[in-house]
Amino acid sequence: MKIGFHTDAFNSAYFSFEKCLQWAQDNGVHYIECGLIDGVSWIHGLGYQPHVAMYEDPELLRRKMEKYGVRFSQVDAAFPLSGKDGPIRGVPYVMKAIQWAKLIGCPNVDTTDGLHAPEGLNDAAALDLMKYEYEQIIEVAEANQIIVNIEPHGYFTTKPDMMAKMLAFCRSPYLRMNMDTGNTFIAGQDPVKFLKRFLKKVSHVHLKDVSESLAAATRGKQTGIAVSQCYLGGGVNADNIRKCLSLLRDAGYDGVLSIECEGQGGPMIKDSLDWLRKTLKELKIKAR
C-alpha cells in the first residue's frame, strides 16, 4: 500500500501547496491529495492555502512535484452534488477537475453529497438528480480514463443502502468509492462493516481517527468531519482503522492510504505518519 496525506492537514497553518510538497519530501511521503480551486482566491494567491487552482498549468506543476518526488493520488472536487446547486455548480466543477486530473496524471477525482438532506427535495428525487449528474460525469471520466470516487461524507453517502444505490448509478469501472474511516464513524456507522460491504469498489482511502470528546459530542449527529483534531492512533477509532487495514490487506488493496488530520504545522500529522508506518509493519503490510 502507498502512504499519502491530504493537504487539508495544513489549512490552519496557512501552508502553500509547495510547502506541503516540502513536508512530504522531508518525511519520505510520495503521494499527496489536495482540493481544487476553480477560480481565483486571494488567500491562495498570497500563498496561505495548501490547495491548487485549476488555472495553474498541469504540466508545469507536475514537473515541480517530480522534483520533490511527489505525485497526486487524488484531487478533491467534493462540491455537494445532492442539492439545487449540484447541476449548475457541482457538475461543471467535477468535469473540469477530471480534465485537469488527466493532464497532470492524477488517477482519481473525489466527489460527494451534501451534509444535510437537500432543501425542497425528498430522498428519491435527490437520488434521481444525482443519478443524472453522475451519468454526465462518468461519460467524461470514461473518455479521460479517470476514476471518479464517491466519498461517504454526507446525508446520503454515509448510509450504506444509499451508497449502494449511488455506486449503481452507472455500470462503469470508473465509478468507485473513497473509503473514509472517520466520516463513517462520526455518522454512527461501523467503519469496518461499511468497508466490508463495499470493499470491491474501493480505489482510495482516507484514514481519520476521532477523539473521545468529539465522538461523545457528535457521533450519530453529524455525517462527516473535514479533518480530525486527533492523530491516527490517538482516538477512539484506532481499532477500527487497524481492522480496516487488515481487510484491505486481505483483499489485495495496493492503493493509497491518505492521512486526514489537523497537522498543527507538522507535529500532529507526523504522529499520524509514525503510527501508520508502525501499524502497517505490525500487520505485515508493505508500505511505500
pLDDT band at 233 (very low <50, low <70, confident <90, very high): very high
Pick the closest to residue 6 from 206, 157, 231 (CA basis): 206
Task: Report the percentage of the chain scoring pLDDT > 90.
Answer: 98
Cβ proximity of 146 and 186 under 8 Å: no
The arithmetic mean of pLDDT across residues 128-140, rounded, is 98
Q: What is the mean pLDDT of the chain?
A: 97
What integer pLDDT is reported at residue 230 of this predicted model? 95
What integer pLDDT is reported at residue 227 of this predicted model? 85
Cβ proximity of 30 and 70 under 8 Å: yes
Q: What is the distance between the alpha carbons of residues 233 and 240, in angstroms, rounded to a whole number?
A: 10
Tens-digit pLDDT profile for residues 47-58: 999 999 999 999
Measured CA angle at 140 (ends 71, 64), to 5 deg: 20
CB-based contacts of 185, cutoff 8 Å, min separation 6: 191, 208, 210, 215, 219, 237, 240
150: left (phi over 0), alpha (psi -120 to 50) or beta: beta
Q: What is the CA radius of gyration of the chain?
A: 18
What integer pLDDT is reported at residue 21 of this predicted model? 98
Q: Is the pLDDT of residue 226 over 90?
A: no
pLDDT band at 288 (very low <50, low <70, confident <90, very high): confident
pLDDT band at 183 (very low <50, low <70, confident <90, very high): very high
**Domains plus CATH for the chain?**
2-282 (3.20.20.150)
Q: Is the pLDDT of residue 274 over 90?
A: yes
What integer pLDDT is reported at residue 273 of this predicted model? 98
Q: What is the distance between the alpha carbons of residues 253 and 158, in angstroms, rounded to a whole number?
A: 22
The arithmetic mean of pLDDT across residues 185-197, rounded, is 98
pLDDT band at 127 (very low <50, low <70, confident <90, very high): very high
What integer pLDDT is reported at residue 131 of this predicted model? 98
DSSP string, the chain: -EEEEEGGGGTTTT--HHHHHHHHHHTT--EEEEEEESS--HHHHTT---SEETTS-HHHHHHHHHHTT-EEEEEEEEEE-SSTTIIIIIHHHHHHHHHHHHHHT--EEEEE--SSPPTT--HHHHHHHHHHHHHHHHHHHHHHT-EEEEPS-STTTTSHHHHHHHHTSS--TTEEEEEEHHHHHHTT--HHHHHHHHGGGEEEEEE----HHHHHHHTTT-S--SSBSS-TTSSTTHHHHHHHHHHHHHTT--SEEEE-B--TTTHHHHHHHHHHHHHHHHTT----
Q: Is the pLDDT of residue 249 over 90?
A: yes
Tens-digit pLDDT profile for residues 88-100: 999 999 999 999 9
The arithmetic mean of pLDDT across residues 128-134, rounded, is 98
The arithmetic mean of pLDDT across residues 205-222, rounded, is 96
CA 248 to chain centre: 17
Buried b (16+ CB within 10 A) or exposed e, 42-59: eebeeeebbbbbbeeebe
Task: Report the percentage of the chain scoring pLDDT > 70.
Answer: 100
pLDDT band at 12 (very low <50, low <70, confident <90, very high): very high
Tens-digit pLDDT profile for residues 56-65: 999 999 999 9
pLDDT band at 15 (very low <50, low <70, confident <90, very high): very high
